[in-house]
Amino acid sequence: MDKVLLSKTAAAMVAKGKGILAADESSGTCEKRFKSVGVECTEENRRAYRNLLFSTAGVEQFLSGVILFDETARQKANDGAPIPEYLAGKGIIPGIKVDKGTVQLPLAAAGELVTEGLDGLAKRLEEYFKMGCRFAKWRAVITIGENTPSHAGIYANAHVLARYAAACQAASIVPMIEPEVLLDGNHTAERSEEVHEATLRATYAALAAYNVPVEHLILKTSMVVSGKDNPRQAGVDEVAERTVRVLKRTVPAAQPGIVFLSGGQSDEAATAHLNAMAAMKNLPWPLTFSYSRALQNPALKTWKGQAGNVAAAQKAFHHRAHMNGLACQGKWKQELERQAA
């Protein structure tokens, strides 16, 4: 466990004005997204698309790191270098998704899930470190429903996250823990806030139980939004206030930083919510982004698998990264006002 390296990596992941690109979609998720723009989901097309993102000129101004899928971490960049090596050469930290997805939690309500992937994790982390990956990600899923989440569901995921985090730190890899509370459902923002708080309290209790120092980890969290089917959607300021309140109640000040997932929000909503939170005063940690769709959507829709569209797609990607780079400093709204003037 190299504490100096862990501290350096964690600090760089949440550097001012920068966030993290989540490019760790599984082949199944990629297939759905590619299908929406009429692109066949082959290994080569996945490589070409991700290299389009990674090779965007100047994007390293706004990206501190990229979360890779195992397949991508083993592929080559356009210049022939291994992708982790290529990213590191641009000053972007390579990260890796290490969980194996979710399964039904036994004896729990239907749809209550727990994440698998602890078996063999130590050996996989050792290999990923040699490949150049310096942080990892593990996603847990918390569903809000009539009978969920249960106490068992929250604690099962909390303890798995803690064991994963301990394994990462032992391998000198910064763990990014992602206890995502889904926005699926018709729940209120109030209910979302309750579940976020319960989830994070359990997660940090488990981290303490497994002797995981918070100084060497990053939280990737969802925002406290209304369920997507609720007729009353919380506004930008309400989402920001509720989310920051939960974080201040649960996340130790010693933690290097917090990144947000977009979780199905629109591109602009994710940026607006981040901007409102980052603009708040006296926050104990930096807040930034770790978006997938909210960064990639415009680029994917522009690219459509056509080599002739690469330049335009990269321009769209660069713009979204720039806007979120401003938002994590609380400067996005001012930039919109400046452009409109």
Active site residues per annotation: 178, 220
Model confidence over 58-83: pLDDT tens digits?
Answer: 999 999 999 999 999 999 999 999 99
pLDDT at 240 over 90: yes
Average pLDDT rounded to a whole number, residues 169-191: 97
Query: Tell me, what's the pLDDT at 84?
Result: 98
- Can you give the pLDDT at residue 264? 85
| pLDDT tens readout for residues 267-278 | 899 999 999 999
Q: In which band, very low, low, confident or very high, does the pLDDT at 335 lie, cut at 50, 70 and 90?
A: confident
Q: Is the pLDDT of residue 234 over 70?
A: yes
Note the pLDDT of residue 27. Answer: 83
Q: What is the DSSP string of 194-232?
A: HHHHHHHHHHHHHHHHTT--GGG-EEEE------TT-SS
Q: Give the span between the Cα atoms of 37 and 264, in whole angstroms.
A: 18
Q: What is the mean pLDDT of the chain?
A: 95
pLDDT at 28: 85
pLDDT tens-digit map of 115-139: 999 999 999 999 999 999 999 999 9
Q: What is the C-alpha to C-alpha distance for residues 99 and 92, in angstroms, rounded to an integer?
A: 22
Write the pLDDT tens digit of every residue in 78-103: 999 999 999 999 999 999 999 999 99
Residue 226 C-beta-side C-alpha neighbours within 13 Å = 14
Specify the pLDDT at position 341: 66
Domain limits of the chain?
3-340
- Average pLDDT in the 234-257 region? 97
Mean of pLDDT values over 154-172: 98
> What percent of the chain shows pLDDT beyond 70?
100
Question: DSSP characters for 35-71?
Answer: HTTT----HHHHHHHHHHHHT-TTGGGTEEEEEE-HH
Write the class of the CATH domain 3-340.
alpha beta
For the stretch 288-334, pLDDT in tens is: 999 998 999 999 999 999 999 999 999 999 999 999 999 999 999 88
**What global pTM score does this model have?**
0.95
pLDDT at 339 over 90: no
Q: How do residues 33-54 score in pLDDT, each as one tens digit?
A: 999 999 899 999 999 999 999 9
pLDDT-based confidence at residue 263 (cuts at 50, 70, 90): confident
